[in-house]
Amino acid sequence: MTDLSLAFGIQRLTTTDASIQTDDLAHEALIRLQDANGTFVSLLGTPENLRSLFIGHCATEGYGEMNQAKLTTTTSKEHGYVVLSSDTLPNPPSTVNAERYVSTSCGACDSPGLEDLNNGLPTYLGEHRAVDLIILDAGFSAMKKMQVGFQTTGGMHGAGLLMPNTGLTYVAEDIGRHNAVDKVVGMALVNRTIEAKTILLLSGRCGWDIVAKSARAGIGTIACVGACSSLAAETARALGIRIFSFVKPSSCVAIGAIGASPNGKP
């Protein structure tokens, strides 16, 4: 067993044979984040880089800065992984259901209606850097090489921060897209190094939840190898955030292209 994967007994089937083997599966576990008042969210995710997950989740969900929090992690068969801060969240969620799990595929399921989702999300007011598609593609290639969990299991999402001064600086993986984003944001916040004009790289698609997290983290550009959803596109345009989806060395789909555009053309 590792933080990223678990060896699991499987049957390997072919058109002519069947055999009992083991395979490395993406590690998915219950993760509870707690402050001095108790559990404020229960996640299903990969139990790796849990300090970064805690700090990044607080930032991208608007609960406040917890960069300097003293965190302890415990694990048990009954409660899964528990990441505890002795401090309280500066802006705790108004309602908490500790027994409701945020799954690895859903980041917006607590919302009563789509029309309310964008309430309170900050508008991105920073500058946009000119983005060369070749540089974006190179960033994705570098990130892929660092995705050990995906290489091992084929079942992990990756997120990276491509910074103007330091390039691809942080990469995180998780069975859940939103958890991977929380982790990579947390990694940067621990070192206070989210530079202006940073680009969030996603190994898959971009949904509304990722745009919301980017807005709260102050990241104005998202690039992904997959598609973006209609609500992600609408929210990005409303908040001044850009999304480059289906990124390839010579093409992409641009949403909300405010300011500088791909390859520096207005």
Task: State the catalytic residues.
Answer: 106
CB 34 within 8 A of CB 82: yes
One-letter amino acid identity for 216? R
- Axis-axis angle for helices 208-217, 50-60 (nearest 10): 90
Q: In whole angstroms, what is the distance from residue 221 CA to residue 19 CA? A: 47
Q: Dig out the tokens for 234 from the structure.
A: 């609408």
Nearest to 153 by CA among 6, 1, 42: 6
The partner residues of 32 in beta bridges, in order of sequence, read 42, 82
Q: Which residues of 23-45 are buried (b: 16+ CB within 10 A; e: fewer)?
A: ebbbbbbbbbbbbeeebbbbbbb
Q: Dig out the tokens for 180 from the structure.
A: 């991977």
Q: In whole angstroms, what is the distance from residue 39 CA to residue 210 CA? A: 23
Q: In whole angstroms, what is the distance from residue 228 CA to residue 56 CA? A: 22
